[in-house]
């Protein structure tokens, strides 16, 4: 087992001591979790608070939505859906009723979206020609 340097441990303890408990609690109360469930009969994307309350279906379609992933700033969610016949990557604001926009429109299946650290790119897995390949696109699908 690796041992953490003493200076790192002391720095972490000092940083924790400087963080007001109220600010930490407020930060936690604003944290949401995106998840996939089929409780409505087909896979959908839901949001909920970190404590499990306020669960809300944000996709609410008759097709399958799966694999939600947050943008780094927490404003958008990318996911895969077959609403256009083939599995494609879509993105939407992280709220119920928001318009989901198709980012891929290629032949084959596109899924497993992952945002870049700056949120300006999305990598995804594509299966269109018998191979699994990784593609990168701008966050707007271009």
pLDDT of the residue at 105? 85
CATH 3.90.1640.10 is held by the domain 32-138: no
* 36-45 mean pLDDT: 93
What does the alpha-carbon distance between residue 99 and residue 87 come to, in Å, rounded to a whole number? Answer: 18
Give the long-range contacts of residues 105-112, CB within 8 A, separation 24 or more.
110/80, 110/86, 110/135, 111/66, 111/67, 111/80, 111/87, 112/67, 112/80
> pTM for the whole thing?
0.77
Q: How confident is the model at residue 71 (pLDDT cuts 50, 70, 90)?
A: very high
Element (H, E) at 46: strand 44-49
pLDDT of the residue at 21? 41
User: CB-based contacts of 113: which residues, under 8 Å, 6+ apart?
Assistant: 67, 69, 78, 79, 80, 89, 91, 103, 122, 123, 124
Q: What is the DSSP letter of 124?
A: E
What does the alpha-carbon distance between residue 78 and residue 34 come to, in Å, rounded to a whole number? Answer: 10
Task: Give tens-digit pLDDT for 81-101.
Answer: 999 889 999 999 999 889 999
Q: How confident is the model at residue 30 (pLDDT cuts 50, 70, 90)?
A: low
- 63, pLDDT greater than 50: yes
Selected residue with higher pLDDT from 77 and 25: 77
Kindly report the CA angle at 45 between 39 and 47, in degrees rounded to 5? 100
């Amino acid at each position: 087992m690796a041992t953490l340097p003493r200076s790192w441990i002391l720095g972490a303890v000092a940083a924790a001591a400087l963080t007001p408990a109220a600010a930490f609690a407020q930060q936690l109360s604003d944290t949401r979790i995106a998840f996939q469930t089929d409780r409505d009969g087909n896979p959908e994307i839901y949001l909920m608070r970190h404590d499990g309350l306020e669960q809300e279906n944000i996709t609410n379609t008759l097709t399958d939505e799966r694999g939600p992933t947050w943008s780094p700033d927490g404003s958008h969610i990318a996911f895969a859906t077959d609403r256009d016949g083939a599995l494609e990557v879509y993105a939407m604001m992280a709220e119920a009723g928001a318009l989901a926009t198709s980012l891929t429109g290629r032949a084959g299946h596109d899924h497993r979206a992952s945002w870049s650290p700056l949120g300006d790119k999305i990598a995804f897995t594509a299966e269109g020609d018998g191979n699994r390949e990784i593609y990168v696109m701008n966050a707007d699908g271009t």
